């Protein structure tokens, strides 16, 4: 599986996601600009010892990365389709927006069918980014018999 964080802002969330990706053998991509430095000091505390072992790929442009891909899904609180209504493969790409800005509207307009949501209470803030990644990622693994 591949996890993509679009313009992540909070190093502790990214550190937690580094740990989750390491423990599930998932690839992690971060799309610039980042709201923090990739220094060990900022990420080490929540990423524990996995920071040095988990490869972190940095992308300048998400559009270029997705150009030849079809098996990807954007997770958004504004989507209508539930994340459990999708059939994921072991090559699925899960894309999560910034904690403060979400995902750019251009993706919603161009690729609405690629958007899924994690149901939650209405009129409240979104789930924490690292929790959302874990929920989405483990649904992918559940559908693929937990093959890491």
Tell whether 44 is covered by a domain: yes
Tell whether 132 is covered by a domain: yes
What's the pTM value of the predicted model, to 2 decimals? 0.93
Tell whether 127 is covered by a domain: yes
Q: Count the Cβ atoms, other than its own, within 10 Å of residue 87.
A: 9
From first to last of the 148 residues of the chain, give the pLDDT tens digit: 999 999 999 998 999 999 999 999 999 999 999 998 887 666 666 556 677 788 899 999 999 999 999 999 999 998 999 999 999 999 999 999 999 999 999 999 999 999 999 999 988 888 999 999 999 999 999 999 998 7
Tell whether 56 is covered by a domain: yes
CATH number of the domain that residue 112 is part of? 3.40.1280.10
93-134 tens-digit pLDDT: 999 999 999 999 999 999 999 999 999 998 888 899 999 999
State how many domains the chain has: 1
* Per-residue three-class SS string for the chain: CEEEEECCCCHHHHHHHHHHHHHHCCEEEEECCCCCCCCHHHHHHHHHHHCCCCCEEEECCHHHHHCCCCCEEEECCCCCCEHHHCCCCCCCEEEECECCCECCHHHHHHCHHHEEECCCCCCCCCCCHHHHHHHHHHHHHHHCCCCC
Domain carrying residue 82:
2-143
Tell whether 148 is covered by a domain: no
> Using CA atoms, how far apart are residues 125 and 96, in angstroms rounded to an integer?
15
Tell whether 15 is covered by a domain: yes
Tell whether 12 is covered by a domain: yes
Tell whether 126 is covered by a domain: yes
């Amino acid at each position: 599986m591949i996890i993509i964080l679009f313009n992540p802002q909070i190093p502790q969330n990214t550190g937690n996601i580094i740990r989750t990706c390491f423990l599930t053998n998932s690839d992690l991509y971060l799309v610039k600009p980042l709201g923090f430095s990739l220094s060990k000091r900022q990420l080490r505390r929540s990423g524990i010892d996995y920071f040095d072992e988990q490869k972190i790929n940095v992308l300048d442009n998400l559009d270029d990365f997705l150009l030849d891909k079809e098996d990807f899904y954007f997770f958004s609180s504004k989507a209508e389709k539930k994340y459990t209504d999708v059939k994921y493969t072991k090559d699925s790409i899960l894309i999560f927006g910034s904690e403060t800005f979400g995902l750019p509207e251009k993706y919603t307009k161009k690729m609405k069918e690629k958007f899924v949501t994690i149901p939650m209470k209405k009129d409240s803030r979104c789930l924490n980014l690292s929790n959302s990644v874990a929920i989405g990622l483990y649904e992918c693994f559940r559908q693929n018999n937990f093959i890491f």
